[in-house]
Structure 1
Amino acid sequence: MSRPSVPAAYFDQLYRERPDPWDLAGSDYEARKYAATVDALPPRHFARGLEVGCSIGTLSVLLAPRCGEFMGIDHAEAPLAEARRRCPRGVFHHMAAPGEWPQGRFDLIMLSEMLYYLGFADLDVLARRCEDSLAPGGVVLLVNWRGENDGTMSGDAAAMGFLAALPAQWPARNLALGPRYRIDVAEAG
C-alpha cells in the first residue's frame, strides 16, 4: 500500500523555516537543471503554460517567456509573493494539486520536482487532471530528482507511475536520465 501524499502543512513549515528551502535561487545545480529543463521543451511558443509546484518562481521566470499566458500554482502560500516578484508576467495561485486545479486548457504543463510528494492515488488523479486540461498537441514535462527525498517515493517511481497513468495513446519518452535527475515528456495525441 502506498503512502498518502505529503500534506500542505509540511510545505508551510518548510517555508516558515527558510524562504527558499531547497536553495532554488542560489544553487549551481538548480541553474544547470533549469537550463536542461528549458532545453528539453519543444522549440515553439506555448499559448498557455502551467507550472505545478512553482515555489518561489525560479523556473517560472524561464518558462513564462515561452508562453502567451503563464500560471504557477503551489501548495504553500508563502513562496507565491516571491514568485510574483520574480515573474511579473505570470499569474500565481495558492492551490493544492491535484485536489485543486485551475480551469481551462494548457498546451504546456510543467511538473518539476513535485511528483514524488504525491501518493500513487494522487498521481493517478493528477494524470487525469492533465489529461482533461492538456490541449491537443500539448506537452507535459516532468523533472524528478533521482536521489533520496522527503516525499513518498523515489523520483523514478513517481515518473514511471505518472506516465503509466496517462492515456496510452500519448507518446511518452525519457529525454534525460542522469545520476541526479531525469526529464520525461508526454504529448497529447
Structure 2
Amino acid sequence: MSEHFQQLYEQNNDPWQVRQRWYEQRKRALLMASLPAPHYHHAFEPACGNGELTAALARRADCVTASDLSPAAVELTRKRVAGLPAGRVTVACQRVPGEWPAGAAFDLIVISEMAYYLNDDELDQLRANCVNSLALSGALVLCHWRRPINDGSQSADAIHASFDAVPQLNRIAHHEEADFLLDVWSLDPRSVAQHEGVTA
C-alpha cells in the first residue's frame, strides 16, 4: 500500500485535485467550520497527503503534527507549509495506527480519507489511539468519501459508526451527504454554546 501511494505522489503532486476541485475545497471548508473551538494548541493529522488540509489546520493551531506513509507526500507537505513560522508544523513519515506519536496529548485529531484502508484490527487500534491521546476538551474529526474506492476494506458509514459506538466519545457535530460523511466527537459532551455559557 505504501508503494502505491508513493508512486501516486511521485507522478502527481495533487493526485486527487484537492487544490483545484470545488468538491474538495468545499469539503475542507465544511470540516474547518465544524471544529468546535476557534483555536487549538496541538493538532494531529495522519495521512496528510500534499498538505492542503495541514496548512488550513495550521491557521487554527499553535502547532500541527502531520504524517503520511509516503515519503513523497511528506516532502510535498513540508513544501506546502514552508512559509509558516518555524515549529508550527512538524511532518514525519509514519504508518498509522501502528506508528503513533508517543506520549502526545492532542486537543485536535483529524482523520480524513484514510481509515478505509485499514483492516479490522488496525481500525480498532486507530480508535484506541485517538481516545487515549485526545485531551478532555479536545475534538476528534473524521471525514470520509462514501462512494466505492479501490483497495478499501472499510466503508465510511461503518468506520464512523464504529467511532460513534465508543462509550467515551460524544458526537457533537454530524454532516452527511451522498458523497461523504463528516463527524466530530469529544470526550466532553458539552456543545459549543454550552462551552460558552450561552442560554436561551
Normalised by the size of structure 2, how large is the TM-score?
0.85
In the TM superposition, residue 181 of structure 1 has moved relative to its aligned partner by 0.8
> Take 1:160 and 1:153, find their aligned partners in 2: how far apart are those partners?
11
Q: How many angstroms does 1:20 deviate by?
A: 1.9
2:108 paired residue number: 108
2:195 is matched with which residue?
none
Contact 1:124 1:162 in 2 (8 A): no
Provide the aligned C-alpha RMSD in A. Answer: 1.5
CA distance, structure 2, for counterparts of residue 31 and residue 17 of structure 1: 22
Contact 2:163 2:169 in 1 (8 A): no
**Residue number in structure 1 paired with 2:139:** 139
Contact map agreement 1:48 1:106 (CA 8 A) in 2: yes
- Structure 1 match to 2:53: 59
Contact 1:60/1:72 (<8 A) preserved: yes
Task: Specify the structure having the higher radius of gyration (Cα).
Answer: 2
Partner of 2:89: 90
Per-residue CA distance 1:69-103 (angstroms, 9 max, x = gap): 11111111101122112123311110000000112
- Alignment of 1:41 onto 2:21: no
Once residues 175 and 159 of structure 1 are traced to their aligned partners in structure 2, the CA distance between those partners, rounded to angstroms, is 10
Structure 1 residue 174: Cα displacement: 4.9
* SS of residue matched to 2:41: strand
Provide the C-alpha distance between the structure 2 equivalents of 1:94 and 1:162, rounded to a whole number of angstroms.
Answer: 25
User: Which string of whole-angstrom CA distances, capped at 9 and with x for unpartnered residues, describes residues 111-151 of structure 1?
Assistant: 01111111121111001111111111111000011111121
Query: How many residue pairs were aligned?
Result: 181
8 Å CA contact 2:34–2:173 kept in 1: the answer is no
Inter-partner Cα distance in structure 2 for 1:174 and 1:38 = 12
How far apart, CA to CA, are the structure 2 residues paired with 1:26 and 1:45? 26
Separation (CA, whole Å) in 2 of partners of 1:11 and 1:137: 34
In structure 2, distance between residues paired with 1:174 and 1:9: 35
Identity %: 34
Gaps of 5+ in 1: 1-6
8 Å Cα contact 1:174/1:182 also seen in 2: no
Q: Is the 8 A contact 1:108 1:138 kept in 2?
A: yes
Aligned residue identity for 1:108: L
Conserved? CA contact 2:6–2:73, under 8 Å = no
Q: What is the aligned partner in structure 2 of residue 4 from structure 1?
A: none
Higher RCO, 1 vs 2 (CA within 8 Å, ≥6 residues apart):
1
Length-normalised TM-score, structure 1: 0.89
- In structure 2, the CA distance between the partners of 1:24 and 1:142, relative to structure 1 (3 Å rule), is same
Distance in 2 of aligned mates of 1:77 and 1:21: 15
Distance 2:131 2:54 in 1: 22
Provide closer, same or farther for how the CA distance between residues 147 and 173 of structure 1 changes in structure 2, counting only shifts above 3 A.
Answer: farther
